């Protein structure tokens, strides 16, 4: 359980600090740009290149997401500069700002005095500051820059304040856990309080997750993201692999995330874990961390490494679960580095099965050799 929670609690931080992996191909392709019905906004693109350091191609791709009237209706550059200065005053650096603009360029058209300042004030009053505030802005830049309606720029955040109070005061959920949950899925907390309360009731009654459980907020995420019909359909997928109702309910309590992934993904993971590795439903239901791990980039490549080590007589105890939940650094240090002479090419095999590029492979090799 601690491993599962650690995986999720670090997700938001990784999301912030991994901007160096940003590339045009991960957001838009040239083909997408050509096929789009929207035309690039060259005025906006020029601003992105000259003021924020985007490449020309990145700028053109991002510019199609901002309506032309947002640029032409007022002195866009002056307002955008004002926004950038405001964000920097709240400790967002150039990399943070580029990431926010990439996902939601409308933030540069926001009114600082009427929209950004009051929303930032509400978030700060809720205890968001420093890295937490930055993580929230980067995970959902529209949260602070989208005007909710003509009469109020803060109505959504006012709902958030009420919902936080409900969770903290009545449900006794720790405030930092609530903040982390907001960072992961802020839209869930913008619901009207009466609708949000209904979600909390359903988490306990329908999902069987008590409010004292560390999985309670993940249950909230699940119900905010999925319909009852969708969840029931996924329950049937598990049952088609021989799971009992008790097994399914146990997994739900241990890991609601397992029901957020697609039915196809569930089938693939169950096929690998049950058919190939031979795990039984009872084991998987109580070792729910496995459903939070990538099949293609984590579980399957590590399984391949264990098989090679076993075939060569270098590994007496094949413990896939223990290997799967290790951090990348731990896995490289304990199951790759010690065998580099007896199993040459093991690291390359592992990285190739993960689909790593040459740059990623070089970085991973450096992690191995610098960790020992």
Question: What residue segments make up the domains of the chain, in order of their start?
Answer: 13-145, 154-225, 227-292, 295-371
Q: Write the pLDDT tens digit of every residue in 222-244.
A: 999 999 999 999 999 999 999 99
pLDDT bracket for residue 153 (50, 70, 90): low
The tens digit of pLDDT for each residue in 189-234 reads 999 999 999 999 999 999 999 999 999 999 999 999 999 999 999 9
The whole-angstrom separation of Cα 331 and Cα 306 is 11
Neighbours of 129 (CB within 10 A): 12
Judge whether 143 and 182 are in contact, CB under 8 Å.
Answer: no
Contact of 90 with 135, CB cutoff 8 Å: no
Of all residues in the chain, the percent with pLDDT exceeding 90 is: 71
State how far the alpha carbon of 328 is from the alpha carbons of 15, 46, 113, 291, 325, in Å: 16, 40, 44, 17, 9
Cα radius of gyration rounded to whole Å, the chain: 23
User: Are 137 and 96 a contacting pair, CB within 8 Å?
Assistant: yes
Q: In a 10 Å sphere around its CB, with 0-12 CB exposed, 13-18 middle and 19+ buried, how is residue 130 labelled?
A: exposed
Instruction: Please give the mean pLDDT across all residues of the chain.
Output: 85
Say if residue 358's pLDDT is above 80.
no
Of 108-117, 205-214, 353-362, where does mean pLDDT reach its minimum? 353-362
Q: pLDDT-based confidence at 25, cuts 50/70/90?
A: very low
Residue 90, classified by CB atoms within 10 Å of its CB into exposed (0-12), middle (13-18) or buried (19+), is middle
pLDDT tens per residue across span 288-312 = 999 999 999 999 999 999 999 999 9
pTM tops 0.85: no
pLDDT at 356: 67
- The top-scoring range by mean pLDDT among 8-17, 26-35, 97-106, 311-320 is 97-106
How much is the average pLDDT of 312-321? 90
For residues 60-73, give the mean pLDDT: 78
**Distance, CA of 72 to CA of 91 (rounded, Å):** 29
Name which residue leads in pLDDT, 362 or 318.
318
């Amino acid at each position: 359980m601690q491993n599962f929670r650690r995986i999720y609690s670090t997700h938001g931080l990784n999301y912030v600090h991994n901007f160096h992996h940003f590339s045009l191909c991960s957001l838009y392709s040239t083909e997408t740009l050509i096929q789009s019905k929207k035309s690039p906004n060259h005025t906006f693109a020029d601003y992105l290149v000259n003021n924020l350091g985007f490449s020309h191609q990145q700028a053109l791709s991002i510019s199609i997401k901002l309506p032309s009237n947002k640029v032409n209706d007022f002195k866009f550059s002056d307002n955008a500069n004002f926004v950038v200065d405001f964000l920097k005053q709240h400790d967002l650096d150039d990399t943070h700002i580029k990431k926010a603009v990439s996902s939601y360029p409308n933030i540069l058209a926001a009114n600082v005095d009427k929209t950004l300042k009051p929303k930032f004030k509400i978030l700060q009053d809720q205890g968001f500051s420093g890295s937490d505030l930055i993580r929230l802005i980067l995970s959902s830049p529209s949260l602070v820059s989208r005007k909710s309606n003509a009469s109020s720029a803060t109505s959504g955040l006012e709902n958030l304040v009420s919902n936080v109070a409900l969770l903290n005061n009545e449900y006794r959920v720790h405030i930092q856990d609530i903040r982390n949950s907001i960072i992961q899925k802020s839209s869930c907390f913008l619901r009207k309080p009466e609708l949000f309360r209904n979600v909390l009731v359903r988490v306990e009654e329908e999902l069987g997750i008590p409010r004292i459980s560390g999985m309670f907020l993940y249950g909230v995420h699940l119900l905010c993201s999925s319909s009852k019909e969708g969840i029931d359909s996924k329950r049937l997928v598990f049952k088609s692999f021989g799971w009992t109702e008790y097994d399914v309910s146990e997994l739900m309590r241990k890991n609601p995330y397992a029901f957020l992934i697609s039915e196809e993904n569930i089938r693939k993971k169950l096929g690998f874990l049950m058919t190939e590795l031979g795990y039984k439903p009872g084991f998987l239901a109580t070792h729910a961390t496995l459903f939070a791990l990538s099949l293609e980039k984590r579980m399957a490549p590590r399984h391949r490494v264990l098989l090679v080590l076993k075939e060569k007589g270098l590994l007496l105890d094949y413990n896939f679960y223990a290997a799967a939940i290790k951090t990348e650094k731990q896995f490289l240090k304990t199951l790759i580095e010690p065998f580099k002479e007896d199993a040459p090419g093991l690291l390359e095999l592992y990285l190739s099965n993960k689909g790593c590029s040459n740059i990623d492979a070089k970085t991973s090799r450096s992690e191995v050799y610098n960790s020992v």
